[in-house]
Structures are given as structure tokens and as C-alpha cells.
A and B are shown apart, each in its own frame.
Chain A
Amino acid sequence: MAADGTTAAGTLAAPVRAVRTARTPRRPWDRWTSHLILASAVAVIAFPLYYAFVISTQTLSEVSSLPPRVLPSGHFLENYATAWQRAGMGRLLFNSAVMALSVAIGKIVISILSAFAIVYFDFRGKTFAFWMIFVTLMLPIPVRIVSTYEVISSLGWVNTYWGLTVPLMASATGTFLFRQFFQTIPDSLAEAAQLDGAGPLRFLWSILLPLSKANMAALFVILFVYGWNEYLWPLMITTTAEMRTAVVGIEALVPRGGSQLPEWNVIMAAAMMTLLPPVIVIVTMQRWFVKGLIETEK
């Protein structure tokens, strides 16, 4: 969340350099235990995902056999095809993508505009505006469940992309991040721009935005993951299968009692399709992701 954390979080940034200079291991045995411990931690973390993948490639009788089989089988394609059709994954994933992208981009744009106003202008009510934005950190969705739904419903936004995205686009965290970043930019840049006759919007577009690229990318990863994985909001705002997002849609596949054997292979196929996009974003944008974790510590 807010102001500090960066002190605690900042340490995540550059572990490697400290490693080399600090102390060299005198006993190689220590080094191997460390590798062993970390490797087992990695394995424990990876196991559930691996297992989910394994199940998603098995037939139903393989899934329910004892002892459990922990090696992949050959039914990958048919399970994924079944999941795709049965759960309408195409539509669900599309909705998730719309939500994640719009929320991420919307939050970034709105935060930049707010931070620009707060850092580069003097105006009445500036401190008040800043605090108004700050206090929203204390108003997450769970503390305003019923009333927020009523607002959305009176706007006619239930089951719309507007309802799914726009209300989530405000961002105190993003505003603080860009505010802090803008404050580190030398005043002389703005002065030089003014001497050259550039107005504030020109300055924002041609100078501030290009300088903010790294911060935008970092924030994008964090916000994309947030938008993709948000659960309570789409659950409240959508009621039809066509407007559900993938994380919420998956709940419909989970067996609730009933007598027939639940198709765990299909459920896991749907789960894999749902969890891969944000994980891929994190893995491919690793550098920005770590920067984002440090600077937003959401």
C-alpha cells in the first residue's frame, strides 16, 4: 500500500551485487544445503501447478485411480477442447482480457493525469484532493459491497464492460507512484520546456511520458494481474454467462455435491487456461514485475 514499505521492499531490487562482495562461503557444504533448501521450496511451490497440469491431461478413470498418478497422460487436447466448449472459455478469457487491459491502462492514465496535476500545478484544494485520493486506500470493495452494486445498477451498468472496468480505474497507489517519480525529475526540465514555449500538456506528452515508461511497464504488470484475478467485483457486477470473467466462471465448474463423478480433468484444464495469462505476463515481464512489486507493494 502506501508511503513506506519501499524501505523493506527496496531490498528486493539488487540482491546479487551484495552477494558477491559480502562474504564468500568458506564451507561448500553450506552452499549445497542452501541450494537444496531453495530448490525444495521451489518444488513445493511448483507441485500444485504441475499436478493440476497432470490431471488436465488424464482421462477420468486415470484421475480417480489410486494411488494417484502423477505423470502426464495423453488426453491433453480433448480435455482442453471439452473445457473450452463446456465453460465457454473463449468468451470468459476474452472478458478477462478486456477487464485486465482496461483496468490496467485506465488506472495508469488516470494516475498519471492526477499526479501531473498534483506535482506541477498550484491550485486551491490541492492538499484536500491529495487526501481524498489517499483515503480510497481504506475503501476496498468489501467495505462497500451492497451500496456499490446499487450505484452500478442505477447507472444500468450491470452486465456491461463499463460496469466491469470503469469503477476500478481510480488508483491511489498509481497516483502516489507517479507523484513520487515526478518529484525526482529536475525542475530545470519543466523550466526549459517553458522557455521553449511548450505548454503543460506538451510537456506531459513529450517529456514526462517518455521518462515514465519504466514506471508504466512496472505498474502495468501488477495491475494486469490485479484486473485479471479480481473476483468479488465481476461476481457482483455480472449475472450472465456471457459477461463473466474466467476466474469467476471457473466456480461454475466446481462440483457441489451431486452424484455424478466430477470431471476434474476438465476443471483443471479450465483452471490452467485461466491462470496462465497472468503468469505468462509476470514471467515474460519479470524485470518490470519486480520493479512493480517494489514500488507499489500493493
Chain B
Amino acid sequence: MKRAAFRNRWLPYALLAPQFVIILVFFYWPAVDSLRLSLYRASPFGDRLIFAGLSNFERLFRDAAYLRSGVTSIVFAFAVTLLGLGLSLFLAAMANARIRGLTIYRSLLLWPYGIAPAVAGVVWLFIFNPSYGVLPYLLSFVTSYQFNWLLKGWVALALIIVTAVWKQFGYNLAFYLAGLQAIPASVLEAASVDGAGPVRKFFAITFPLLSPVTFFLFTLNMTFAFFESFGIVHAVTQGGPGDATSLLVYKAWKDGFQGLELGFSAAQSVILMIVVIGLTALQFRYAEKRVTY
């Protein structure tokens, strides 16, 4: 830490005041209140809250819809992360000749960062449109299977996965390309001299040396999939068809705002809190261990 430079009894507190007013009123109080609410349920007339112990949580773990939502979220998060990272790493590795114009490519890859997930979802919704979208049209030459996301849950899930992967793709690719540039060419050349082929070199050298980038992108994409994909679901599929795309955050919002089951929704928020804490802990393990190197 820096040597403190100024002496003043009250000024530091005044400087911190705006931040603290906001985090206490809009972060800490609601978080604590969510914990409290998760232990209550509404009375039959909905006029007051009755202490319910852990019954909301028991209900969560017995509720088939909630468990399905959990599974859907995990499938979605891993699909988005693994597909996104796999695809971008593969392309980055293939394209890793030293070429001119990398900064231009970087710009051309990064701009989808600015597109809201919900808006990206609306655009993909049209591409998936069962009657005249370009994707079902192209697929109709290959198979007679009806890729109708309104009828088939897995197509709807594929729609939101594709949207999320597309949105994150350029970002992932840009980071991998940059990471590859940092790998010393001498190491790869030494391996070539020893007779290692491109595949061998990739798995023995490139992939391990890229592990910090992979790990960083992994937590980032997981966080995106769990917490920032709400807009895609709400604007595009509304959790449907049935509850095929009802991700955890969407369900927590829906049960709280449309179902008005405050305690039940708060219990879901508490579960999500545990997920965030897990992801943050993961990030910090990495910060300490730095993977490889």
C-alpha cells in the first residue's frame, strides 16, 4: 500500500459516502433481505409473511420445474462456454501464422461486445424463424426434420446457445489470438526440430501455455451464461416452449414478479448467490495459482 499522503479526520469518510450509501441501500440491504425473505412464505391472503424455516429450500429441491431449470442452466452454461472456447481456440490456433493486420482483425472481431444479449437474441430469432428464416431453410436441403423452436424444446435451447456463443465468439477469439502471440516462437521451433507435428505441438505446448487465457475466458463465459443471458431468454423464448429454456435467473425473476411468490423467489436468489460466490472463488484460486507457468 501507498504511504498515506493527506491527514484529515472526516474527508475520507465523506469521499466514500456516495459509494457506501448506494452499496448499503441497494446491495447489502436487499441481499440480507433476500436471505431473510427466503425463510418466509406469504399467508393465504397474502397480507403478511409467515416464518417458514427452510421449507422454501426444501420445496426448491423437490420442485421438478426448478430442478429442470437448474439442469437447463448448467447445460446452457457449459454448452456456451465449451463451444465458444473450443471454436475460438481452434480457429485461433489454425490462424496463428504471424500475419499483418492483426489489429484490424481485432477490431472486426470485438464489436459484437456492444450488442445487448436481448437484441442479439431478436436477430437470431429471425434467422431461426421456422417459416422463412435462413437457417431452417438451409437445413431443409439436408433433412426433412422440422427445426421449429416453438415446438421443439431443444431447438429453442439451441437458439439461445447459438446467440450467446455468437455474442461471445469474437471476444474469445481476440483473446486467444493475443495469447498466441505471447508464446515464444523459439519453443515451437525447438519442438519442430525434435520432430513434433502440429497436433502434438498444440497439445504439448500451445494449449498448456494458453491455460491462463483459457481459465480467464472460462470464468468470464460462465458468468455471462449464468447471469447476463437473462435478456436473451426474456426477449426471445420467454422460457419456452414449456420450460425448455427457463434458466435459473429467468425463473427467479418470473416466480418473484409474475408469480408473486416472494419467499420462493428469494430462496432462488440465495442459490444464485452461492453460484456467484463459487465463480468468484474460482477466479481467485486462479489469481493465486496462475495456472501453469
Kindly provide the distance from the CB of B213 to the nearest chain A CB, expressed in whole angstroms: 5
> B231 and A232: CB pair below 8 A?
yes
Stretch from A24-32, A82-90, A211-219 forming part of the interface with B: A24-32
Q: Would you call A206 an interface residue if the criterion is a C-beta within 8 Å of the partner chain's C-beta atoms? A: no
Q: Identify the closest chain B residue to A109 (Cβ).
A: B18
Q: Identify the closest chain B residue to A247 (Cβ).
A: B116
Kindly provide the distance from the CB of A49 to the nearest chain B CB, expressed in whole angstroms: 7
> A142 and B230: CB pair below 8 A?
yes
Stretch from B54-62, B77-85, B153-161, B275-283 forming part of the interface with A: B275-283
Residue interface mask A120-146, B partner, CB < 8 A = 1: 111100100100110011111011111
Provide the bound-state CA to CA distance between A49 and B256, in Å. 34
Kindly provide the distance from the CB of A285 to the nearest chain B CB, expressed in whole angstroms: 11
> A65 and B132: CB pair below 8 A?
yes
Q: Identify the closest chain A residue to B275 (Cβ).
A: A143
> A45 and B170: CB pair below 8 A?
yes
> B30 and A136: CB pair below 8 A?
no
| CB neighbours of B181 from chain A (8 A) | 11, 15, 18-19, 22
Q: Would you call B257 an interface residue if the criterion is a C-beta within 8 Å of the partner chain's C-beta atoms? A: yes
Q: Identify the closest chain B residue to A274 (Cβ).
A: B119
Given contacts A142-B269, A231-B116, 13 further A-B pairs with CB under 8 A are: A12-B106, A46-B108, A121-B6, A123-B12, A143-B269, A144-B33, A146-B266, A167-B22, A194-B5, A200-B11, A231-B234, A267-B126, A275-B115
Q: Would you call A51 an interface residue if the criterion is a C-beta within 8 Å of the partner chain's C-beta atoms? A: yes
| CB neighbours of B174 from chain A (8 A) | 12
> B235 and A45: CB pair below 8 A?
no
Q: Would you call B242 an interface residue if the criterion is a C-beta within 8 Å of the partner chain's C-beta atoms? A: no
Kindly provide the distance from the CB of A166 to the nearest chain B CB, expressed in whole angstroms: 7
Provide the bound-state CA to CA distance between A170 and B174, in Å. 29
Q: Would you call A236 an interface residue if the criterion is a C-beta within 8 Å of the partner chain's C-beta atoms? A: yes
Residue tally, chain A, CB below 8 Å to B: 121
Provide the bound-state CA to CA distance between A235 and B117, in Å. 14
Stretch from B64-72, B95-103, B199-207 forming part of the interface with A: B95-103
Q: Would you call A196 an interface residue if the criterion is a C-beta within 8 Å of the partner chain's C-beta atoms? A: no
Given A51-B123, A182-B2: A250 in contact with B235 (beta carbons within 8 A)? yes
| CB neighbours of B19 from chain A (8 A) | 110-111, 113-114, 133, 170-171, 175
> A3 and B284: CB pair below 8 A?
yes
| CB neighbours of B114 from chain A (8 A) | 225, 229, 275, 278-279, 281-282
Nearest 4 CB-CB pairings of A with B = A231-B231, A147-B30, A229-B116, A4-B287
Kindly provide the distance from the CB of A97 to the nearest chain B CB, expressed in whole angstroms: 14
Q: Would you call B25 an interface residue if the criterion is a C-beta within 8 Å of the partner chain's C-beta atoms? A: yes
> B280 and A19: CB pair below 8 A?
no
> A289 and B27: CB pair below 8 A?
no
| 22 contacting pairs across A/B (C-beta < 8 A) | A12-B174, A15-B106, A18-B182, A19-B99, A22-B185, A34-B97, A41-B173, A42-B108, A45-B108, A45-B166, A64-B131, A110-B19, A119-B1, A121-B4, A121-B12, A133-B23, A140-B276, A175-B19, A229-B231, A274-B119, A282-B110, A293-B113
- Residue in B19, B113, B125, B215 whose Cβ sees the most chain A Cβ within 10 Å: B19
Provide the bound-state CA to CA distance between A39 and B33, in Å. 51
Provide the bound-state CA to CA distance between A66 and B131, in Å. 9
> B26 and A289: CB pair below 8 A?
no
Within 8 A of B (CB), among A158-193: 166-167, 169-171, 175, 182-183, 187, 190-191
> B123 and A122: CB pair below 8 A?
no
> A34 and B119: CB pair below 8 A?
no
Q: Would you call B127 an interface residue if the criterion is a C-beta within 8 Å of the partner chain's C-beta atoms? A: yes
Q: Would you call B120 an interface residue if the criterion is a C-beta within 8 Å of the partner chain's C-beta atoms? A: yes
Of the residues A11, A45, A126, A175, contact of B179 by C-beta under 8 Å: A11
- Residue in B22, B105, B122 whose Cβ sees the most chain A Cβ within 10 Å: B122
Q: Would you call B139 an interface residue if the criterion is a C-beta within 8 Å of the partner chain's C-beta atoms? A: no
Q: Would you call B272 an interface residue if the criterion is a C-beta within 8 Å of the partner chain's C-beta atoms? A: yes
> B122 and A267: CB pair below 8 A?
yes
> A23 and B185: CB pair below 8 A?
yes
Q: Would you call A271 an interface residue if the criterion is a C-beta within 8 Å of the partner chain's C-beta atoms? A: yes
Residue interface mask B1-36, A partner, CB < 8 A = 1: 111111110011101101110110111111101100
> A274 and B116: CB pair below 8 A?
yes
Of the residues A13, A68, A123, A297, contact of B13 by C-beta under 8 Å: A123
Provide the bound-state CA to CA distance between A33 and B94, in Å. 8
Provide the bound-state CA to CA distance between A267 and B119, in Å. 10
Q: Would you call B148 an interface residue if the criterion is a C-beta within 8 Å of the partner chain's C-beta atoms? A: no
> B99 and A183: CB pair below 8 A?
no
> B6 and A247: CB pair below 8 A?
no
Q: Would you call B52 an interface residue if the criterion is a C-beta within 8 Å of the partner chain's C-beta atoms? A: no
